[in-house]
Structure 1
């Protein structure tokens, strides 16, 4: 299994992403998986700010390693945080290099290592990851195939016996339709109790019925399920209120938002269309049996095994080539 970096030189002063070749930083790699391969030196340049938070800052740059094409990377660091967090970074690299190593390049980014600089008893951390896109926004409506990929990758992770631990939209990145999970410091073993099939437009189950809080949260936030109410002209109308012949009732519910006769006529037409759509949905919904909504969760169906000795050079995930270093991770 190729592992390209044992040390890296950051060719910049990361403050505001301004390149400063005079302030090169050479740091040894913090490892969780041993390797017998000879070290390489990589240089990161063209660094620019991507995201700044209270505890970490994220930059984007170009990683160059002799013999390989340049790689678009992300640098996650606590260099300018109020409090350094070396232990949190070590938990995260453990997730990338050991616990979830087999997921690199599939549902988590490739990782090029954690580098920690010690100076006067202070530790500054730099986690180097392949750039894998920009964060989601749960306020945006995404295509069904993208929602399906997010849910499928998350359930696969749970099948393997792990949960993310802090999965919000800002920790799900997308690039050209491909989904990755980032910020892995809270990853932990997980005995998933998922027991409810995920059916688009099914009514929202309770969390207890569904069985897994993390998957439930993501499915709910992606608007995969049919809520118990529908927004009509700024008012939440419960499904039970939407009945054949009930257009007048819907107009009454939103009467204060309608000012003119033309607005009322338009709203009436939309109310009739809404009633028709809900009736079609009810016919479909009534065809789903209780058995179709439930399934037996088999935890043995997938597992994330620890990688073999990375010095062996033989692995299903070994993809080293002149185009890019092999199996490693991202942010």
Structure 2
């Protein structure tokens, strides 16, 4: 029964007294049956306990005899298995050796005992050195001309010469020493005579917009350094450089260093960028210009009408969105023309939002 079903049944019992009485009656009946069953079970257990006969204690002496006999039997079995395995291994090794001997005999590598004795006597004889024959060596046959005595039961022993190979070092008859061939040393030093192509771009006045470009031949791994900037590769580019003199340092190989000083020129660049502002929040456009410069600036609306003009260099370099008459100009796009006293000109777009 789930929780919901049990809860609904308990509510029904609380509301229906007849149903509640029947349920209590069933509960009492079940309890009576339960306790009667327990009493009957208790009586049965008591009778069984009385009927249990006394059993004698455990026979330790007999158990010890059985354990000793088991250990002896187990030891005998283990010894038999070990000896049997050892014999089997010996038999297998003998079979392998016999098989190898049979294979060697078939290939002509094994000779009879007499042939082996003849070979040993042949090896013990003094050798004849070509060009150095003395009185003790006149009657001694050379190693190449030695012929074993003929015997029906003796096999002819042939001298097997190794195949000639260009990569095999052989020892001559006069026991000359073998000289080790050492390759000549090669000079791994490189010439530190590399040249680099260097290009520069001018920087705006009073700003750091210049750059230096270095190009190599790509033959080595080069490391470049200009001021505090560094990089590596076949080429390098250094940006955000101010105008003036800079020293270039290039390293490659282990000891090669290339140094050169280059100059980044200075150029005049527009100093004002497009700007949007809201005069209702006391925002203003402030004119940027070079220190010490002077001139005038004029602001036009989209129809080309002159609505505001002023000078700069004396401290009045801003526009708050009003005309020369002091009226507030409407929302829109305006163009400011900046005229320097030295003839330079600059144009900037201004937007008023509200």
| TM-score for both structures, normalised by structure 2 | 0.16
> Greater CA radius of gyration, 1 or 2?
2
| TM-score for both structures, normalised by structure 1 | 0.16
Higher relative contact order (CA 8 A, sep 6+): 1
